[in-house]
Structure 1
Amino acid sequence: MPAPFVSVRDLCMDFGDTTVLSNVSFEIPEGEILGVIGRSGTGKSVLMHLLRGVEDPPTKGSIVYHMAACDRCSFMDVQSRAGTRCPKCGGELVAVDVDLWDEKSNGMKSRVMNRTAIMFQRTFALYGDDRVIENVLHALDDIRYPPEQAVNRAADLIDQVKLSHRMMHIARDLSGGEKQRVVLARQLAKEPALLFADEPTGTLDPETARLVHAMLTEAAERNRMGMMVTSHFSQVIEDMADRAMLLADGGIAAIGSPRDVIGSFSREYEEIGAVEPPELGEKILAARDVTKRYVSADRGMVRAVNSVTFDVAKKEIFGIIGKSGAGKTTLSQIIAGIIEPTSGEMNILIGDDWVDMTKPGITERGRAKEYIGLLHQEYDLFPHRTVLDNLTDSIGLEFPKELAQRKAISTLVMAGFSAEKARAILPRYPGELSNGERHRVALAQVLIREPLLVILDEPTGTMDPVTKQDVKHSILNARDEMGETFVVVSHDIDFVRDICDRLALMRGGKILSIGPAAEVLAQVSEDESHD
């Protein structure tokens, strides 16, 4: 059994009157990959922040890192290396126990934190205008890596995440899965003893996600690195973890083998079957030969969207699926009027008028954009504004307080909250919510503007199965009660199977197949459809 690396004892965390963690105790051995699973709001991200030593201190309890500290420089390693020579300066590594949140450990705390790294969910944290190798070189520069050795080290790291064929590409031109692997290379540059991966593949298609999982586990083994992975998805834990922990109601509900813990988690919810689609109305969106081309210094002429034609009916839930880099997000941004296509038409019905989104001006795209809502996978909430303010500010109108609260609560219910929970979170700030809760508030930000058409870009990327069901029913409710129309861009095959009336399968910027959801999914390869 490896030596203990982190010991967590009686950890408690309260936010006001809300208890998020209560008397949580566990250990992480050296080199272990620990998977943490649970519903939104169960404290997974809070626990990870506490172990990283960032944000607010715990209400009670301790987090002790068992390390080996150099007696000459600031380098630290795992405690099993105590008694050996420091690889940086040749000093002796001496065993130390660092209580991360003890004020007397301040000097040691920063040294411990320098041996950790994190991959955040839903953000790729890259220099978008720089090349892949430049992004990795920036990370090496941050840790003062010897400049004369940096290029070779960067190339080694890029090779380790199997992106040598993208080394000179501009970061913004990469697919989501490729961007996440660059993020991994940047974190590995720091040579962490412990890597935190917070929903690292929630927005990636299943095939790309499995590739990133393999990259992470291979990196952990190659670099003798421990890892804590949080996820709502059992497949992530099953693919990666040596041991798993289920959080529920502020405590550890189960800890042990991934299979046993996933079994405990799965028993917490029941999937709800597909709903019979209603009778659809007339067309509300008509795309004709839409193409988006751009020139890349590395790749030449890129056809992100290539002569795409489709219609969406009123009250329809229309899905666009495909692997990372298929062109789904670019197409959704054209529908929303954020980017202009190179050619073709994107018409939307406003009242009795067809408006072409490809034409600028207040009577064309400017008029239509007001009635189209987009929730992008890289959404943002104002951190210093309450949930109520975030929602009402997004409308851009002054409301009497009572009406603003009423409107906000009804919209939060549409986004998957109970009415009681909706009332409770109105005065809270985004940082006091779980990641899943923040996502639903961002969805409510879109719905509160009463759009005719809502585009959801990866709406379930970081949601647990129970929350997915809530969101599914909120979307169906918005469709049934308000006549809302949705375009859902997703990798989540189970979700689109459950909720979409029709699907378009994209690959290489083209629509390969379009039709009823069941028929299109039957054509998707096993690799794409098996989560």
Structure 2
Amino acid sequence: MKAPLITVDNVSMDFDGTHALKNISFELAEGEILGIIGRSGAGKTVLIHLMRGVEQPPTSGRIIYHVSACPSCDYMDVPSAAGKPCPHCGAVLAPLDVDLWNETNEMLKRRVMRRTAIMFQRTFALYGDDRVIENVLHALDDINYPPEKAINRAADLIDQVRLSHRMMHIARDLSGGEKQRVVLARQLAKEPFLLFADEPTGTLDPGTAKIVHTMLTEAAKTSNMGMVVTSHFSQVIEDVASRAILLVDGAIAKIGAPKDVIAEFMAGCEDTETFEHAVVGERIVEARDLTKRYISVDRGVVRAVNGVSFEIYEKEIFGIIGKSGAGKTTLSQIIAGLIEPTSGEINVRIGEEWVDMTKPGVDQRGRAKEYIGLLHQEYDLFPHRTVLDNLTDAIGLEFPKELAMRKALVTLRMAGFSEEKSKEILDRLPGQLSEGERHRVALAQVLIREPRIVILDEPTGTMDPITKIDVKHSIMHSRDDIDETFVVVSHDMEFVRDICDRLALMRGGKIVEIGKTAEVLAHLTEDERKVMSQNQPPAA
């Protein structure tokens, strides 16, 4: 094993008396890829932020970077570079230990942080209106890369993430996996010696995620870059990491080979609860020959939805599946009333009346939208407001405090939280929650408005296996207890198989199969199965 790049020494982190991390200690070698796995709320994101030096310092403990530093300029490198000439000024690099959070010289901390990079979960952080190459050029400009060399360097980075065929595309027109590769190219432009990847592929379909995993490991090998990857998906750790840590309630439960750590993590993830077959009601949504066309600078006319027809029934859990780019999200936004179709019909029944969703106005689409809740995969919570505020007055629901708390607690339990956990998080800010917990709060934010139809766009993308089971149960109970109707847009075949009554399979903007879940899944092509099927737990 190479010399350590980072020593995490007995680190603990408390939030309002709650222990988020408990006495964490380990070393990360230069060039090593370390996977950190655990349930939502286990402390993965808190740990990765502490290691990078962002937000607030640990309650106790130290994070020490072992680097080689140039005495004449700001350049730093991995410890094995000590004694070599600085590539910027030629001075000899010298070994240096930087205590990241206790360093009296703030400049040393900033120098270390400039040599690290991060890929955030669930956000692509791109200039949406700029082309791919322009996004990478922006990153090079941020580090004052020589302008005369920038074009070639940007092209090299785009080649490295295998996106040369998308170099001139507008960033917003890319698929999720392509956007994530542009993000990777932007981070590699900084030439970091360490990359933090926090749930980097949580909202991507498994096939696309595997491509990004390959990009990450290749980038690490090409540039001798270390990585810390957090996830609650076992396949991410299996694909990427050379060593893994299992976090349980803020403490290290196991550290070692990824296969062994994953096996312990997956233990106890079985779902034993069963549900009665639901009796659905009358039609609540009906669509005929729906079409949505866009004009793209790069691709001309894009038929995101191309002549689809379907019906949805009360208390039904209706799934829309397909590969990335099939048109699933666009169709869900048409159902939600966020996008007006180019042509065709779509009507939603409110009470005993049918509302024409193609017509704007408070008596038409506006009326129906009040009863349709949408949880998009790119949801946002108000970061400076508590969970209670996010669930009540922050979205315009004005309750007396006592009723607000009662309603919030009931809704949080519907979203998969235990009664104890619901009470615990009411006064917390979103930043003090894990990503999976924030996702469930966002689901509760939809449910608290008492919609008749709930549309969930990739609802399991940021959830660990046990939380996924909790949310599955919350959806099933909501359907049974309060007559809720759900539209689930997902690439998680295991989830839709367990939860959906019927499925619509989309390819190229069209619905090519619609019917009972098992029948539609049987029509998946081998490529679709490979791309969309969630990975199963590893064999014991």
- The structure-2 alpha-carbon separation of the partners of 1:327 and 1:272, relative to structure 1 and needing over 3 Å to count, comes to farther
Corresponding residue number in structure 2 for 1:72: 72
Task: Name the counterpart of 1:504.
Answer: 504
Separation in structure 2 between the aligned mates of residue 444 and residue 429 of structure 1, nearest angstrom? 15
Task: Tell me by how many angstroms 1:276 deviates.
Answer: 4.3
Q: CA deviation at 1:519?
A: 1.6
Aligned partner of 2:315: which letter?
Answer: K
Give the letter for the 2:398 counterpart: E
Equivalent position amino acid for 1:77 in 2: D
Residues 358-377 of structure 1: per-residue CA shift (max 9 Å, x gap):
11111110111100000111
What secondary structure is seen at the aligned counterpart in 2 of 1:247? strand
* TM-score normalised to structure 2 length: 0.97
> Which residue matches 1:350?
350
Aligned residue for 2:98, secondary structure, equals strand
Q: In structure 2, how many angstroms separate the alpha carbons of the residues matched to 1:409 and 1:317?
A: 24
1:277, distance to aligned residue in structure 2 (A): 2.9
Counterpart residue number, 2:171: 171
Give the alignment partner of residue 527 of structure 1, picking from 526, 530, 537.
530
Moved more, 356-365 or 438-447: 356-365
What secondary structure sits across from 1:168 in the alignment?
coil
CA distance in 2: counterparts of 1:468 and 1:105, whole angstroms: 44
Residue of structure 1 in register with 2:256 after alignment:
256
Counterpart CA distance in 2 for 1:396 and 1:224 is 51
Q: Which residue of 2 aligns with 1:41?
A: 41
- Cα deviation 1:154-205 (Å, max 9, x = unaligned): 1111111111111111111111111111111111101111111111111111
Q: Is the 8 A contact 1:98 1:105 kept in 2?
A: no
> Which string of whole-angstrom CA distances, capped at 9 and with x for unpartnered residues, describes residues 118-167 of structure 1?
11111010011111111111111111111111111111111111111111
Q: Give 3-state SS (helix, strand or coil) of 2:104's partner.
A: helix
The equivalent of 1:492 in structure 2 is 492
CA distance in 2 between partners of 1:441 and 1:419 (Å) = 14
Question: d(CA) in 2 for partners of 1:274 and 1:346?
Answer: 34
Distance 1:22 1:530, change over 3 A: closer
1:24 aligns with 2:27: no
Deviation at 1:322, TM superposition (A): 1.3
Query: What is the identity, as a one-letter code, of the residue corresponding to 2:16?
Result: G
CA distance in 1, matches of 2:436, 2:213: 21
Are 2:237 and 1:234 equivalent residues in the alignment?
A: no
Measure the CA separation in 1 of the matches of 2:58 and 2:68.
25
The 2-side partners of 1:274 and 1:285 are apart by: 28
In 2: Cα distance, 1:496 partner to 1:503 partner: 8
Cα separation, 2, equivalents of 1:221 and 1:287: 50
Pairing 1:419–2:402 present: no
Q: 1:365 to 1:298 in 2, by over 3 A?
A: same
Distance across 2 between alignment mates of 1:77 and 1:343: 58
**1:82 aligned partner:** 82
Q: Is the CA contact (8 Å cut-off) linking 1:346 and 1:358 kept in structure 2?
A: yes
Question: Could you tell me which amino acid in structure 2 is paired with residue 137 of structure 1?
Answer: L
What CA deviation, in whole Å up to 9, does each residue of 1:317-341 have, x standing for no partner? 1111111111111111111111111
Partner of 1:459: 459
Q: Which 10-residue stretch deviates more, 357-366 or 76-85? A: 357-366
After the TM superposition, which residues 274-293 of structure 1 pair with which residues of structure 2 at under 5 Å, given as runs? 275-293=275-293
Offset from partner CA, 1:488-528 (integer Å, 9 cap, x none):
11111111111111111112111121111112222222313
> Scaled by the length of structure 1, what TM-score is found?
0.98
- Counterpart of 1:253, as a letter, is A
Q: What CA deviation, in whole Å up to 9, does each residue of 1:75-134 have, x standing for no partner?
A: 110000100011122121111011100131422110000011111111010011111111
Q: 8 Å contact 1:68–1:82 — kept in the other structure?
A: yes
1:244 is aligned with what amino acid? A
Q: Over residues 295-349 of structure 1, what are the superposed CA-to-partner deviations in whole Å (9 max), with x where a residue is unaligned?
A: 1111111111111111111001111111111111111111111111111112111
Alpha-carbon separation, structure 2, partners of 1:386 and 1:247 = 26
Residue 94 of structure 1 is matched in structure 2 by 94
Alpha carbon RMSD of aligned pairs, Å? 1.1
Separation in 2 of the partners of 1:430 and 1:39?
17
One-letter amino acid of the counterpart of residue 527, structure 1: K
Judge conservation of contact 1:12–1:24 (CA < 8 Å) in 2. Answer: yes
Gaps of at least 5 residues in structure 2 are 536-540
Determine the C-alpha separation between the residues in 1 that align with 2:462 and 2:288.
33
Q: Which runs of 5+ in 1 are unaligned?
A: none
Output aligned runs, 1:431-442, within 5 Å: 431-442=431-442
Q: Separation in 2 of the partners of 1:264 and 1:506?
A: 37
274-283 or 257-266: bigger deviation: 274-283
C-alpha distance in structure 2 between counterparts of 1:287 and 1:136, whole Å: 42
Distance, in Å, in 2 between the alignment partners of 1:111 and 1:268 is: 43
Task: Check the 8 A contact 1:131/1:168 in 2, yes or no.
Answer: yes
Cross-structure match for 2:186: 186
CA contact (8 A) 1:320 1:489 kept: yes
Q: In structure 1, what is the equivalent of residue 387 of structure 2?
A: 387
Give the paired residue count: 531
> 2:56 is aligned with what amino acid?
D
SS at match of 1:123: coil
Deviation of the 1:217 alpha carbon: 0.6
Which amino acid in structure 2 is aligned with residue 497 of structure 1? R
Whether contact under 8 Å (1:347, 1:355) holds in the other structure is yes
**Counterpart contact for 1:394–1:445, Cα < 8 Å:** no
2:221 aligned with 1:221, yes or no? yes
Cα separation, partners in 2 of 1:137 and 1:272, compared to 1, 3 Å: farther
Tell me if the contact between 2:139 and 2:187 (Cα under 8 Å) persists in the aligned partners.
yes
CA contact (8 A) 1:208 1:323 kept: no
Report what 1:324 is aligned to: 324
Q: Distance in 2 between matches of 1:280 and 1:306?
A: 28
**AA matched with 2:441:** V
Q: Retained in 2: the 8 A contact 1:274–1:497?
A: no
Residue-by-residue CA offset, 1:390-421 (whole Å, 9 max, x unaligned): 10025523211111111110000000011121
Contact 1:274 1:499 in 2 (8 A): no
Please give the alpha-carbon distance, in whole angstroms, between the structure 2 residues aligned to 1:9 and 1:344.
62
SS in 1 for 2:379: coil
Question: Counterpart of 1:507 in structure 2: which amino acid?
Answer: R
Q: Which amino acid aligns with 1:10?
A: N
- Give the Cα separation in 1 of the matches to 2:413 and 2:325: 33
Q: What do residues 434-464 of structure 1 show as CA deviations (whole Å, max 9, x unaligned)?
A: 1111111000000000001000011111111
Q: d(CA) in 2 for partners of 1:511 and 1:106? A: 57
| 2:141 paired residue number | 141
What's the counterpart of residue 448 of structure 1? 448
| Aligned partner letter, 2:235 | Q
Secondary structure in 1 matching 2:515: strand
SS at match of 1:423: helix
Between the aligned partners of 1:395 and 1:349, the Cα distance in structure 2 is 24
Distance 2:373 2:271 in 1: 28
Match of 2:304 in 1: 304
For the 8 Å contact 2:52–2:116, the answer to whether it is kept is: yes
